[in-house]
Structure 1
Amino acid sequence: MKKRHVLLSFTLALGLALAPFLSNSSTSAAASKLPSNALISNKGTVITPEKVKRFAATSKKKNAATAYRGNGKLKNAKETVVKKVQPVRFGSYDIGIRSVIGTDDRTRVTNTTTYPYSAIAHIESSIGGCTGWMIGPRTLVTAGHCVYDPDTKQWATDVTVTPGRNGTSKPYGSAKDIEIFVSAGWGQNGDIGHDYAVIILDQEIGYATGWFGYRWTSSSLTGVAENISGYPGDKTYGTQWQHADKIRKTETYRLYYANDTYGGQSGSPVYQKYEASCDGPCAIAIHTYGAGGTSYNSGTRITEEVFDTLNYLKDY
């Protein structure tokens, strides 16, 4: 059932706390802050943790959300032509620039209409280029730094999402954003443990592209085989590249791996190619930061909190 877009009533304190997140606002943050796991949007919407918890209590999805292959059919596909953008850069983090570990073992995805590659999208915006992945008919997951800069308090604008892109080929056309959500932890503090975002699209493009399953567990994920596929800025523009590895280190809010990536792949799914609980490809993290050299790259782990949030927005 689709939830109606309800803008919560603003108390004075909430209004002050929200001010920095309103579209392109540069207002200083008030002393009163939102909880780190609250959600805020570029339209001024606030979703409280309590509301997400109430929804989770009624949901049948407790640990895993089911993948969907898609029907490959999209009527009246729209296409937006945009100028080429550079990969997103953020603050002191060298996002993706040093993300190739040793030799570059990435391989190009030549048939991007094959699931699940069809459900992986190239994102272009005023901030730069990134990657995202579908989790529902019109819901896309990406990195928080792909859509909001907590240093400048600026939201991405002119966001164009092109799933299954293969260079100049756009088999499913392009979609635009109608609302973008980040966690207050990312928006207020730039907390990398909360570096994720959800984009609500203007088309139900996911029925054609399919979407990923996703899951959470409190257990260690070290040793779990995974794959990362996305749109790097060092390859032919708009082409999708992947590399398989395994989780090398597990932390509460982050997972570490030796997959080769590059700037532009921020927001890519870190996923198991098949997981029974998802009945298909199953994301366990969102790729966010590159270290390169002999270090590990890392992503925002899908915790129970993130899982419940994605479920809440899956059919928003």
Structure 2
Amino acid sequence: MRMDFQTEHPLQALWRLTAIPLQSQALAQALAHQLFAHLAQPASASTVAERLGLHPGACAIWLELLWSMDLLSRQQASDAADGSAGEALFCSSALAQRYFLEAAPDYCGQAWQYRQQALSGLAAQWPQWLAQGQVAMTAPPGSWAQAARVQIAQEQRAITVPAIQHLLAQLGPLPATGRLLDLGGGPGHIGIALAQQLPQWQGMVCDEPATAAVAAENIAQAGLAARMGAQGCDVQQQDYGQGYDLIWCSSVLHFLPDPAQAVRGMWEALNAGGLLLLAHAERPDDPAMAACVLPFYAGLVLRGHYLPRPGDMARHMAAGGFGQIRALGRLDFPMAPVWLHAGRKSA
């Protein structure tokens, strides 16, 4: 009888959970030591240890762990004298070179560290959340604007903007001219990408004043100041003006006290025939998909914010006056997927 040793034990997925902190720290240390720049060219563990002043044995298993995470490639060298296996050579993988080299256009090192620290802190607070239902949390003044300038900007450029560019290609033709609004746009890279794809359009990015100032800097750097601006606004108070032909709003309704009213305000801000695109994480009914979302949004729910259920966005849009409401599927966003919904204001 042939025995099958390939069957995975039911607990294996849960055992893997216990190893995640070790893997996370392996990457954190790689970023701290700028390892991926040091391994732009292949090098052995002993060479890396000497170069970085690390313990050779610990460095060797560290590099193997990063190799197992697809952040390094490994090639086995051979001893020229007798043909036996020599010390392995490690090199930064394509994944690491794209996202974790500081000089790379898609660098996300600081963004990853920002998320890792936030989620590690939340995990440590679970006993207090479960016992008391609340944890005292205060963000220093200007922290959101600083995150928009650095970490969120990295994610928008590397991950969100390519998703938006792909989306526009799927939406079909838009009018040759018009006005667009990136509502709650953070550092503004989504609005900038939209304006670059719609060269005859005027545009606006709206967020809290300090963050809008960051967006204004990015707009100027992109050479779009002549037809695009940024202004401080309160989305719930609908003080972002009217007369738009396209509104993009992603990951904003989570933080508003009345999401349905906010969607109605977007309807009022659109011209007749205008298009609203809403992109937000949702609480899926499928457990496998929920596992892709809830670990990243549990903290948001614990703090009393809104994580919509399937169907919520379409209901908000219908109640707000929109027609031609469509669910356009999922987009790959930082951390977790978002669900995209489109609706039009009748002409």
Asked whether the two chains share a fold, i.e. TM above 0.5, the reply is: no
TM-score (norm 1): 0.26
Higher strand residue share: 1
Higher relative contact order (CA 8 A, sep 6+): 1
TM-score (norm 2): 0.25
Higher helix residue share: 2
Rg: which structure is higher?
2
